[in-house]
């Protein structure tokens, strides 16, 4: 189930936000989007999921053109968007939030029950709180619920928009471990993430987005080790002239640890 974008442009009002984007995501692949706030990453994900209308270009999924399809039709194809800010229904129970994730496939009740059991097994903290109001969950649990709701839709391509935003470091590690495991189980993953170091460390490939355009693309390893990418997106560059020796060593070791933890992807 390969996603292919060809010269895709989209925006709001009379202004384009993304410009002639070419991008591919293959099954069993994590592709990450890196860029400053306002670069167009979220708009790109919303355009793929159908929340933002495209202007020009094509979106092909599993060999079928879908740029004119509705959001619901894209979900039925298997394109699922886990949005920034979680956007759970805080007044509904945890279980009801999960059921809404399966609404697009509501005629298959047996499959919905199986999906709910799988999500509950994957997220034990949710299994224990299915009847609790979702607004009472912690930030990390709400993010798990948003992901679990996405998994209820039987995705083939799962898109994450800033999944680590506002989470403690331990929970960030859990989220990224989960993303890697979903990729290993066969899903295609498109990830927009503020933590450039960690997202590139787990990525098979990455795209640098600047002013709504693809400025650079390459393997996760190559981008992670690029001086230009490090200087602009990874905090203090690993080889930055003004960085102290200790700071350079700390960053270098941190990047090596990320690559080692995630199998040198």
Predicted pLDDT at 188 = 97
CA dihedral for 66, 72, 76, 79, sign (positive or negative):
positive
Closest Cα to residue 143, out of 118, 111, 178, 117?
A: 178
Are 223 and 232 within 8 A, CB to CB? no
| Domains of the chain, CATH where assigned | 1-78+156-219 (3.40.50.300), 90-154 (no CATH)
Predicted pLDDT at 211 = 95
Predicted pLDDT at 174 = 87
Sheet of 29-34, strands arranged across: 79-82, 157-161, 188-192, 29-34, 205-210, 213-219
C-alpha count within 13 angstroms, C-beta hemisphere, residue 150: 27
Helix (H, G, I), strand (E, B) or coil at 66: coil
| Beta strands 64-65; 54-61: pairing state | antiparallel
**pLDDT tens digits, one per residue of 23-44:** 999 999 999 999 988 999 999 9
How many residues appear in the chain?
Answer: 265
> What is the spatial distance between Cα 248 and Cα 253, in angstroms, rounded to a whole number?
9
Residues 6+ apart with CB under 8 A from 97: 88, 89, 134, 145, 149
Each residue's pLDDT expressed in tens, for the chain with a length of 265 residues:
899 999 999 999 889 999 999 999 999 999 999 998 899 999 999 999 999 999 999 999 999 999 999 999 999 999 999 988 778 888 999 988 898 888 877 666 567 778 888 888 888 888 888 899 998 888 888 899 999 999 998 899 999 999 988 888 888 888 899 999 999 999 999 999 988 888 999 999 999 999 999 999 999 999 988 888 888 887 533 433 444 455 445 544 555 565 555 544 4
């Amino acid at each position: 189930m390969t996603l292919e974008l060809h010269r895709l442009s989209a925006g709001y009002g009379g202004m384009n936000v993304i410009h002639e984007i070419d991008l591919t995501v293959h099954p069993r692949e994590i592709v990450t989007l890196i860029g400053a706030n306002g670069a167009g990453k979220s708009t790109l994900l919303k355009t793929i999921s159908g929340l933002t209308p495209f202007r020009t270009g094509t979106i092909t999924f599993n060999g079928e053109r879908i740029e004119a399809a509705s959001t619901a039709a894209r979900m039925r194809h298997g394109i699922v968007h886990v949005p920034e800010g979680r956007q759970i229904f805080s007044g509904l129970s945890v279980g009801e939030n999960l059921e809404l994730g399966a609404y697009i496939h509501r005629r298959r009740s047996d499959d919905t029950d199986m999906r709910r059991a799988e999500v509950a097994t994957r997220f034990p903290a949710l299994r224990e709180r299915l009847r609790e109001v979702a607004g009472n969950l912690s930030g990390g649990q709400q993010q798990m619920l948003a992901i679990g709701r996405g998994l209820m839709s039987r995705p083939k391509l799962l898109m994450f928009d800033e999944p680590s935003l506002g989470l403690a470091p331990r929970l960030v590690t859990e989220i990224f471990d989960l993303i890697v495991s979903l990729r290993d189980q066969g899903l295609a993953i498109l990830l927009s993430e503020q933590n450039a170091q960690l997202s590139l460390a787990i990525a098979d490939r990455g795209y640098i987005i600047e002013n709504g355009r693809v400025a650079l693309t390459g393997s996760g390893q190559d981008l992670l080790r690029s001086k230009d990418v490090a200087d602009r997106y990874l905090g203090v560059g690993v080889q930055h002239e003004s960085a102290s020796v200790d700071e350079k060593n700390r960053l270098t070791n941190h990047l090596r640890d990320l690559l080692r933890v995630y199998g040198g992807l």
